[in-house]
A and B are shown apart, each in its own frame.
Chain A
């Protein structure tokens, strides 16, 4: 039933000359959910959002809001409102006038406008801000006014274009929680685009990971993190150690991948994309830093159980960051650089550069995907995640 969905896209395509910005994207967003579109800059997410708002017309496909196609409907007639990246609060008006703007365009009665504006300002926690000038507001307050300005119109869908990007880190963390709470209270459908995975994971009911104009995977934050379905998602969401190798055997509930740099990695066929790949297939292997257990050299049992991966590494760099501390290692046999999370117990607080560690993780923690032709997700994605 189409009318269950506040928003639906069917095979939406947008091209700019030779360049395809959005390629055959389909999505359905159930009523009242917080839906994020996560992707690196240039992946087409802004284009998609602007198509939903009506500032760009799709080349192909259909966009439905509450079951009705909005193709050819001008932005000022669509039942969606947008929180712009830099908020676009009107500096020539005060806060109340900003919030009242849309209602006045609808020709609503003065008295009703005043009442609704007051209600909405109260709802975003700024009941006295009405007479203030925009320049008098703090970053977080501006954010809330920009949202209030849209919410007062009762939009079917609220579109948010990376509105937290301009805030400093502390405030951003705070606003994440606040936005999620606000959405929960008012129950309006939010479509939120961002390149920051932490924003998407923390706030959303559903996240679509977008890359090169396509949706790679749509799912809950947990699904994306624990069960990535494409190498892009595995690399982009969260951090990963990555190897390249060839599938050597696949039998008895165990698959072995021979690494290009020497050594083997065991994995569970369950974790291999499609649960089966031909022998000799080139594979990309992903292991999360926090999936790896560390022990001082020689302290773990030497002949490990089958299905447990064992490696040794020499500490090259300690990255102390409180609970998110990690260590960069050089793997002894392969020479591969690895990133491993430190346990939060402080057990390895005395670690020094040059120390040797035993590393182990289970086959079930090893994700494998057939190697893609393009270079797999670069360090940038991981770097962005750290930042």
Chain B
């Protein structure tokens, strides 16, 4: 008797599994699990004297007692939720237009036009907004030329500008999942809705949005996560008034060299991010693998 192919494959596979699992395990253990555990440990210690540390909640207590930190944290979360909602509201009609209204060539061209700006570095995009919105910028000049304002207007360094930039930067991550989920909605479901007496509003409410829910969930989760962890856009468009939590982390780590409290802040941001992602998944009855897969 020859070996059955199955048994050969089985033995080969076992060795292969071990070989192939090695890089995976090294990656996950050394670069994901241990660093984050270490981050947690560092956040839970206090420097007693040079090179000597003791277990302590001091860093977390400091966070909750110092209003600047606490306010920045809450503000970052609120702004991120708002940015996510705005991105959804602005991006949904666009995604619907691309997925359901456009046909054939025009559709792929429009979709590409949506994608390409996001292959360009976030830095370049933000730079573009700075040129548009600064006091000596394009929009300010345009408004003066049109006679709508008398002198130069500074449109940078306020919350609205931060929001414009955040929504801009996040748009791709909303539009792509929405287009793909709406693309999978069979036209005949919409037609059936109309055929049975529905109108644009009821069909959107009863058929399109329930169908798009998985895309909405994954879009919102990714956008929220990226906005919360954003550093560039609030920093460049908001300037000193941006008060973004990642800036606090940067300050603690790099400027003040206070790694203990920086780690605590980082961990708190990670907890907030994970919590909202988890909540979003629960509410939309999705799993993380559905969302990113």
Contacts and interface: CB of A to CB of B under 8 A. Distances in A.
Contacts of B211: 91-92
A209 B206 CA distance: 38
A326 to B, nearest CB: 39
B207 A75 contact: no
Given A101-B196, A101-B198, A105-B196, A84 B188 contact: yes
B64 to A, nearest CB: 43
B20 interface: no
Contact of B188 (A54, A78, A85, A106): A85
A106 B189 CA distance: 18
B192 A76 contact: no
Contacts of A86: 186, 188
A149 interface: yes
B18 to A, nearest CB: 40
Contact of B196 (A74, A81, A85, A91): A81
Given A84-B188, A84-B191, A84-B192, A90 B207 contact: yes
A113 interface: no
B193 interface: yes
Nearest to A84: B188
Contacts of A53: 191, 195
B182 to A, nearest CB: 14
B27 interface: no
Q: Which interface class (under 10, 10 to 19, 20 to 34, 35 or more) fits B?
A: 10 to 19
A75 B202 contact: no
A80 B206 CA distance: 21
Contacts of A77: 197
Interface in A214-254: none
A210 interface: no
Contacts of A153: 196-197
A88 B186 contact: yes
Contacts of A106: 197
A130 interface: no
A149 B188 CA distance: 14
Given A101-B206, A105-B202, A90 B197 contact: no
Contacts of B194: 74-76
Interface in B183-222: 186, 188-189, 191-199, 202, 206-207, 210-211
A88 B191 contact: yes
B186 A75 contact: no
A320 interface: no
Interface in A45-86: 53-55, 74-78, 80-82, 84-86
Interface string A259-295: 0000000000000000000000000000000000000
A102 interface: yes
A379 B186 CA distance: 34
Interface in A144-163: 149-150, 153
B112 to A, nearest CB: 26
A92 B195 contact: no
Among B196, B202, B210, B211, find the residue whose CB has the most chain A CB atoms closer than 10 A.
Answer: B196
A94 to B, nearest CB: 12
A76 B188 contact: no
A92 B197 CA distance: 18
A76 B207 CA distance: 15
Nearest to B203: A76
A105 B198 contact: yes
A228 B191 CA distance: 36
Interface in B69-92: none
A153 B198 CA distance: 13
Nearest to B210: A92
B101 to A, nearest CB: 15
Nearest to A105: B197
Contact of B195 (A76, A85, A90, A93): A76
B188 A75 contact: no
A88 B192 contact: yes
Contacts of B207: 90, 92
B157 to A, nearest CB: 45
Nearest to A146: B192
Nearest to B199: A76
Nearest to B209: A92
23 contacts: A74-B194, A75-B191, A75-B194, A76-B194, A77-B197, A78-B195, A80-B195, A81-B195, A82-B195, A84-B191, A85-B188, A86-B186, A90-B189, A90-B206, A91-B211, A92-B206, A92-B207, A92-B210, A102-B197, A105-B197, A105-B202, A106-B197, A153-B197
Q: What are the 4 closest A-B residue pairs judged by CB atoms, nearest first?
A: A102-B196, A92-B210, A105-B197, A88-B192
Interface of B: 186, 188-189, 191-199, 202, 206-207, 210-211
